[in-house]
Amino acid sequence: MTNHKALATFAGGCFWCMVEPFDERPGIISVISGYTGGTIENPTYEQVCSNETGHVEAVQITYDPQVMSYEQLVSTFWQQIDPTDPGGQFNDRGESYQTAIFYHDEEQKQVAEKSKQELEASGKFTKQIATKIIPAKTFYPAEEQHQDYYKKRSSHYRLYKKGSGREDFIKENWQQPVDKSKLKEQLTPIQYSVTQENGTERPFQNEYWDNEEEGIYIDLISGNVLFSSKDKFDAACGWPSFTKPVDKYEVTEHTDETHGMIRTEVRSKTANSHLGHVFEDGPVEAGGLRYCMNSAAMKFIPKEEMVEKGYKKYLYLFN
């Protein structure tokens, strides 16, 4: 158990959708759904949904600030919501679904306000940012059936996230736009084929399949960290293989029914590049997964170059 703990509290509409983006990420110890900001003690779900208690649905995150910074958490929070909506979130209307960042100390307040100012100045949204930044109040955990809802009732959760409008809003507003004509000039033919056309490079004839150096593998287009050499293993398949991503938030998984097979495709979240596939024939002792990636979709940063190239915060992977 880590000795470094801090709390972060965010209200982003329905709390079912605010657990998954933070859960199981590096440095995250727990994510609890609950209620905060109101006037009555130990409110129930029904009381909060009546919009008469002053509470909002929220998540409280316990995290290790030496691994996951508060800045990263705030950035993730913005990317789950419509920050211009003062009346709720997507199909969920009313006071209990309003958005807010509840700061626990002066440093968090400054980080949150600076982040909000930067978002307003970016021009990403034409409407004013409506999310409030307010002092943390007593947090009341929600009923057990609401905890980890994305795991307990995953099918219903997926339908709800899509049906509410949240999923499409996130894709439309937070996914990095890609200029394919520019990429065609910048990338090699195999890099373009893999990342933009879902191609596959040849086994045993690619850059990293047998690379044994210590370091990290980043998304070729966005520069975000995908995998670590600590989780790389020889799967005897001819492609670089890993037991897990460094941060599950940076990849998305999709059903792939091409070539007469049913597989799970892996894409980079920010750039939406094709990376490879994930299979369930990896080392059992490491979780049983094999993330089989294309070298052409990634760039390797040796451990000794990580500070110089802006990846200092990921050195914890090698401690």
**CATH number reported for the structural domain that contains residue 42 in this entry:** 3.30.1060.10
Q: Are residues 23 and 95 in the same domain?
A: yes
The C-alpha atoms of residue 189 and residue 180 are separated, in whole angstroms, by 12
Q: Which domain holds residue 248?
A: 180-318
Q: Are residues 10 and 156 in the same domain?
A: yes
**Of residues 17, 49, 237, 292, which has the active-site annotation?**
292
Tell me the pLDDT tens digit for each residue of 17-60.
Answer: 999 999 989 999 999 999 999 999 999 999 999 998 999 999 99
Average pLDDT over residues 198-222: 96
Q: Are residues 294 and 222 in the same domain?
A: yes
1 occurs within a structural domain: no
Share of the chain above pLDDT 70, in %: 99
Whether 14 sits among the annotated catalytic residues: the reply is yes
- Boundary-marking domain end, from 140, 174, 208: 174
> Has residue 2 got a pLDDT over 60?
no
Q: Are residues 41 and 124 in the same domain?
A: yes
Whether 292 sits among the annotated catalytic residues: the reply is yes
Q: Are residues 108 and 213 in the same domain?
A: no
Secondary structure in 3-state letters for the chain: CCCCCEEEEEEECCHHHHCCCCCCCCCEEEEEEEEECCCCCCCCHHHHHCCCCCCEEEEEEEECCCCCCHHHHHHHHHCCCCCCCCCEECCEECHHHCEEEEECCHHHHHHHHHHHHHHHHHCCCCCCCCCEEEECCCEEECCHHHCCHHHHCHHHHHHHHHHCCHHHHHHHHHCCCCCHHHHHHHCCHHHHHHHHHCCCCCCCCCCCCCCCCCEEEEECCCCCEEEEHHHEECCCCCCCEECCCCCHHHEEEEEECHHHCCEEEEEECCCCCEEEEEECCCCHHHCCCEEEECHHHEEEEEHHHCCCCCCHHHHHHHC
Q: Are residues 132 and 265 in the same domain?
A: no
Confidence (pLDDT) at 178: 80
- Per the structure, the count of domains in the chain is 2
- Boundary-marking domain end, from 174, 195, 217: 174
**Of residues 14, 17, 49, 237, which has the active-site annotation?**
14
Tokens, residue 29:
């110890």
Q: Are residues 33 and 114 in the same domain?
A: yes
- Boundary-marking domain end, from 159, 174, 189: 174
**CATH number reported for the structural domain that contains residue 244 in this entry:** 2.170.150.20
Q: How confident is the model at residue 3 (pLDDT cuts 50, 70, 90)?
A: low
Q: Are residues 114 and 204 in the same domain?
A: no
Tell me the pLDDT tens digit for each residue of 273-310.
Answer: 999 999 999 999 999 999 999 999 999 999 999 999 99
Q: Are residues 144 and 158 in the same domain?
A: yes
| Closest C-alpha among 213, 230, 38, 223 to residue 137 | 38
Q: Is the pTM of this model over 0.85?
A: no
Q: Are residues 121 and 206 in the same domain?
A: no
